[in-house]
Amino acid sequence: MRNLVPAAVAALTLTLAQLMFAAPAQAFDIEERRLFGSGDREIAVLSTTDLAAIDMVLQDFVDGHPDIRIRYDQASSMQVFGAIHDEGAIYDLVMSSAMDLQMKLANDGFAAPVLPRTGNLPLWARWRDQLFGVALEPVVTLASRRGLGDLPVPRTRRDLIAMLREHPDLLGGRVATYDPVTSGVGYFLIAQDSQNFEGFWRLAEVMGRLNARLFCCSVEMIDELREGRITIAYNVVASYAARYTPEDPDLIRLAFEDYTFAIVRSAFVPSNAHNAADATTLLSYLLSGPAQRQIAANAGVALIPGTGPEPGPHLRPIRLDTGLLVYDDQLRRAGLMAEWNAALVQP
């Protein structure tokens, strides 16, 4: 540095400063980023929702608001939570399907109070004026017709346990589910299953004996299923499968008759948002009739009545309320993960 002339030092200092402000350091991983629109005002969105499931909705919004652009960052639910809770990342709207993590962020003061137009949004799909459901997402099991061969399609979880026990040669290494270590939704669904199905740990043990494969995301499980490398994917968010099932006759969607969970994908405006006003406008649009009809068509069920298919008789929506905070208790989490590891990791 001593050999640089003052002007060069100044130029280098300015360049470094510009780089620091233009690309702030971050520890969380962004899986994909896309810009929508070219307006002067930016809404920064951090979300777990796969871009293919929401790009048309966002494009419609910026088409109707040419003065606004959207920077959409996609990340896993654990990464989204850590970015907001631990790193203080600056975003204007945060969306995630990990209901317990979203509720913790809101309850811990990370969500600003806002008043979007909510229409007929059910009371169980919002919390105060801080957390708002934007989609109802059934959680289903997917299977491959080719992989099952002549086996009957299971109609309940007990049927699934019996099939897995009786056909280890056919299904060994060919069962998949979420990895609760890397997936916040995966942990949440294990907690829900263990509360609602007394045979869940038997199911987990059978999957463990079959060397079940664990994944971070629904999309990865679906890709493996379509490539013929697995036969059954347990607990998949249905909206990700919806884009394939009409054109892929090999995929079987199993909505079990004992119960089919439906998680509420929710959104909030962070308390440190730079553009809360436009983010609230976007949230209002996400809850509007046109957007909800697109979202419901993708999810297969309407969150807001009258915008899409009505819930079936076995669908069990999970309420968006403070009862979700129990899943964040560290002792409870440690106990649940210990049981999961004992079931899945067997000698």
> What tokens were used for 317?
């929506």
Quickly state the pLDDT bin for 142 (edges 50, 70, 90). very high
Give the separation between CA 283 and CA 277, rounded to whole angstroms.
10
Cβ neighbours for 44, distance < 8 A, ≥ 6 positions apart = 71, 73, 90, 91, 92, 93, 274, 275
Least confident of 21-25, 103-107, 145-149, 244-248: 21-25
Cβ neighbours for 201, distance < 8 A, ≥ 6 positions apart = 194, 339, 343
Least confident of 183-187, 280-284, 340-344: 183-187
What's the pTM value of the predicted model, to 2 decimals? 0.84
Quickly state the pLDDT bin for 246 (edges 50, 70, 90). low
For the segment 199-213, the average pLDDT, to the nearest whole number, is 96
Whole-number average pLDDT of the chain: 88
Give the separation between CA 261 and CA 138, rounded to whole angstroms.
6
Give the separation between CA 131 and CA 128, rounded to whole angstroms.
7
17-21, 233-237, 330-334: which is most confident: 233-237
> What tokens were used for 90?
């600056």
Quickly state the pLDDT bin for 52 (edges 50, 70, 90). confident
Least confident of 10-14, 32-36, 65-69, 186-190: 10-14
Quickly state the pLDDT bin for 167 (edges 50, 70, 90). very high
For the segment 150-166, the average pLDDT, to the nearest whole number, is 95
Give the separation between CA 249 and CA 228, rounded to whole angstroms.
13
Using the structure block, give the residue that is written with the tokens 């299904």. 171
Q: Residue 326: pLDDT above 90?
A: no
Give the separation between CA 54 and CA 49, rounded to whole angstroms.
7
pLDDT at 141: 93
pLDDT at 298: 85
pLDDT at 347: 59
pLDDT digits (tens, 9 = 90+) for 120-136: 999 999 999 999 999 99
Burial of 317 (0-12, 13-18, 19+ CB in 10 A): buried
2-6, 179-183, 268-272: which is most confident: 268-272
Reduce the secondary structure of the chain to three states and give it as a string: CCCCCHHHHHHHHHHHHHHHHHCCCCCCCCCEEEEECCCCEEEEEEECCCHHHHHHHHHHHHHHCCCEEEEEEECCHHHHHHHHHCCCCCCCEEEECCHHHHHHHHHCCCECCCCCCCCCCCHHHEECCCEEEEEEEEEEEEEEHHHHCCCCCCCCHHHHHHHHHHCHHHHCCCEEEECCCCCHHHHHHHHHHHHHCCCHHHHHHHHHHCCCEEECCHHHHHHHHHCCCCCEEEEEEHHHHHCCCCCCCCEEEECCCCCEEEEEEEEECECCCCCHHHHHHHHHHHCCHHHHHHHHHHHCCCCCCCCCCCCCCCEEECCCCHHHHHHHCHHHHHHHHHHHHHHHCCC
Structural domains for the chain: 6-134+266-306 (3.40.190.10), 137-262+328-344 (3.40.190.10)
Q: Residue 19: pLDDT above 70?
A: no
For the segment 240-258, the average pLDDT, to the nearest whole number, is 77
> What tokens were used for 171?
């299904």
Amino acid (one-letter) located at 210: L
Cβ neighbours for 294, distance < 8 A, ≥ 6 positions apart = 56, 57, 60
pLDDT digits (tens, 9 = 90+) for 89-102: 999 999 999 999 99
- Give Cα 27 distance to the centre of its chain: 20
% of the chain beyond a pLDDT of 70: 90
> What tokens were used for 53?
């499931």
Q: Residue 24: pLDDT above 60?
A: no
pLDDT at 329: 81
pLDDT digits (tens, 9 = 90+) for 290-301: 999 999 988 889
